[in-house]
Structure 1
């Protein structure tokens, strides 16, 4: 597990689902992703890990932009991420759950 859970009093019924089709669109995000990757995720395969980190950051930003109290529901089950599915055009695989705590 790469991140630690933080105890925060949140309404867990107030959430949106993780969107595996969401890509980082801002021109500043690639620089942010590069810095985050270099600082915390150097032990992972670079290309795949950067893709996954970008999708996760894009989801976190989209949830925060909608509502700062909104939670993000993310599956930690590896079978929920099929990289070669027509419903997963970005190619997010079972590497994604390794980025966040269970």
Structure 2
């Protein structure tokens, strides 16, 4: 990954609202965050906002499926007490911190 790409990934992980990303990516991440943190509050208007940002129904299905799968796997790992592997030890502290959201340091 080029340094610029790594920097963008870090910016998105730290606060995607401040990251230099497209409007479409912003809408997608806002939807994914709502689906993750408040799934019972996702309404048709949220899906319509994705359509208005240029997502097709198939792409919306992808966003929902990928977000849901990521949450499913994270909960399994949390429930089993799985820790990050050795491949993460070499990451710069800022990247490790971004990956460890909600985890003890």
TM-score scaled to structure 1, two decimals? 0.30
Higher Cα Rg, which structure? 2
Quick one: higher RCO (CA 8 Å, sep 6+), 1 or 2?
A: 1
Between structures 1 and 2, the one with greater strand share: 1
Between structures 1 and 2, the one with greater helix share: 2
TM-score scaled to structure 2, two decimals? 0.29
